Amino acid sequence: MTDVRSVEHCEEQGMHPDIVSRVGSTMPAEETLYDLAELFKIFGDSTRIKILYALLESEMCVCDIASLLGMTQSAISHQLRILKQAKLVKNRREGKTVYYSLADGHVHTVLHQGMEHVQE
């Protein structure tokens, strides 16, 4: 729904085509913005955030994460699958045990910047 006052204000003040053009030329493709929104949805679940914060401190197996968070291994595995599909975590196998860690420094940066923002 369009705010009538906003439209009236724009008609009175005039638009700024130079700004609209400049900003429009720097906007990422629609598909890229969709992918970014999907990535942020992954961060929108507190269980996944807890898992990521645990992995900030140490590489861990499903059993350890489940024990730390007081959840079932099945629930943790489900969340790790989502995080792995989003390329936020990676894993390595050592014998029968699979260890998970953050995928790269970008995940670390996003978590730290997010925490800084909420603590301001």
Cβ–Cβ under 8 Å, residues 81 and 69: no
Distance CA 10, CA 32 (A): 29
Total domain count for the chain? 1
Alpha helices in the chain (DSSP H): 4-13, 17-26, 30-42, 46-57, 62-69, 73-85, 105-118
Q: Is pTM beyond 0.85 here? A: no
94 falls within a domain: yes
What does the mean pLDDT of the chain come to?
Answer: 92
- Both structure tokens of 54: 């645990």
3 assigned to some structural domain: no
pLDDT at position 21 is: 92
With respect to residue 43, please indicate whether it lies within any of the assigned structural domains.
yes
For 63, half-sphere exposure in the C-beta direction (CA atoms, 13 angstrom radius) is 3
- Domain of residue 37 covers 16-118
Name which of 57, 70, 71 is nearest 102 in CA terms. Answer: 57
Reported as a single tens digit per residue, the pLDDT across 16-73 is 889 999 999 999 999 999 999 999 999 999 999 999 999 999 999 999 999 999 999 9
Residue 5 scores a pLDDT above 70: no
Q: Return the structure tokens found at 91.
A: 């894993």
**CATH number, residue 25:** 1.10.10.10
In a domain, 39, yes or no: yes
Residue 2 covered by a domain: no
Tokens of 74: 């099945």
